[in-house]
Amino acid sequence: MVFTITDIVIALAGVLTLFFWFILFFKGKKNESLFEPLEERDFPLKEIYFVGFAALEMFNYQYKSKSDRRLRRNLEVLYGPKYADYYLRVIHSQKITIGLTVLVLAFCLYGLADTVAILFVGVAFAFLAYYYFGTVTENKILKRSEEMLSDFSEVISKLALLTNAGMILREAWEEIAYTGQTSLYKEMQKAIDEMNNGVAEVDAIFNFGTRCIIPEIKKFASTIVQGLVKGNSELTIMLMEQSKEVWSAKKQNVHRQGEKASSKLLIPICIMFVGILVMILIPIFTNLGT
C-alpha cells in the first residue's frame, strides 16, 4: 500500500488529536464527580464531561464573554442564580467534550474507510455537535416561554374569576398554582413557597415576574403589585382587563403560528415539485437523444 502526503498529514493530525484527547482525559479524571448529579436525559455522555472541563482549565477560560453573560442569565432562569455558574461550566464542558470526541471518531473512520469525504463529514458533525450543545439552553428557554404563554391566558382568567368571586389574591393564587405542573404553574408554586417562608406577598409576585422573563407575564406581575397597593377591588378590575388583552393576544399568536406552519409546508412541496419535474423531464430528454 502506498501512502500519499495527504494520508500522512491526516494520520498525523489524527494521532495528535487522539493524544490531546487522552491528555485531557487523564488530566480531568479527578473532576469526574463534578458531573455526577446531572441527569443523563438532559446531559448525554456526562461521564466524560471532565475532558472538556480539563481543556477549559488548561487554557484558563474565564467565562466572561458577552455570550457567557447571556447564557448565565438563561441558566439563572432555568436552574436559579445559585446554580447558574455550575451549569455554565457544564454547558461549556459538554460541547467541548462531545465536539472533540466526534472529531477523534472522524479520524478513526477515515483510517478504516480511507476516504477523505468521510473525514469531512465527521469534522462537519463535530462542529455541528459543538454548535448544537451550545444552543440547547436557548432552545429550552424558548420552549419554556412558549409553554408559559400557552398556559398564561387560562391562568389569568381563573385568577380574575376567583378574585371577582371574592377570594383574596393569595388564596386564589394558591388554588390555581397546584392545578398544573408545567413551567408557569411551577413558578407560581415557587411564589407560594416564598410567601410561606416569610417573603412579602408583593415581593414574591415581583420575583415571579422576574423569573418568568416574558414581557406579558412581567406586566401581569406588575398589575398584581399595583392592585395589591390600591386594594382588592381595583385588582379585580385590572385582572379582568388584562385577561381580555391576553386572550386577544393569544388569538393573534395562534393565527401567526398557523401562517408559519403554512410557509414551512412550502419547502417540502417545492422539493416534491422539483422531484416530479426531474422524473418527467429526464425520460423526455433521453428519448430526444435517441
**Higher per-residue confidence, 281 vs 65:** 65
Give the pLDDT score at 84: 92
Give the pLDDT score at 158: 87
Confidence band of 166 (pLDDT split at 50, 70, 90): confident
Looking at the chain, the number of H-run helices and the number of E-run strands are: 10, 0
For the segment 228-244, the average pLDDT, to the nearest whole number, is 71
Give me the phi and psi of 224, to 5 degrees please. -65, -45
Q: What is the pTM of this model?
A: 0.74
Give the pLDDT score at 252: 58
Distance CA 275, CA 262 (A): 20
Confidence band of 26 (pLDDT split at 50, 70, 90): very high
Confidence band of 167 (pLDDT split at 50, 70, 90): confident
For the segment 149-154, the average pLDDT, to the nearest whole number, is 84
> Are the beta carbons of 156 and 221 closer than 8 angstroms?
no
**Grid-cell match 419535474, residue found:** 277
> What is the rounded average pLDDT for all residues in the chain?
84
Does 244 score more than 90 pLDDT? Answer: no
Confidence band of 217 (pLDDT split at 50, 70, 90): confident
pLDDT tens, residue by residue, 199-212: 988 899 989 988 88
**Higher per-residue confidence, 149 vs 23:** 23
> Are the beta carbons of 183 and 144 closer than 8 angstroms?
yes
Query: How many Cβ atoms sit within 10 Å of the Cβ of residue 176?
Result: 20
pLDDT tens, residue by residue, 279-290: 666 666 566 555
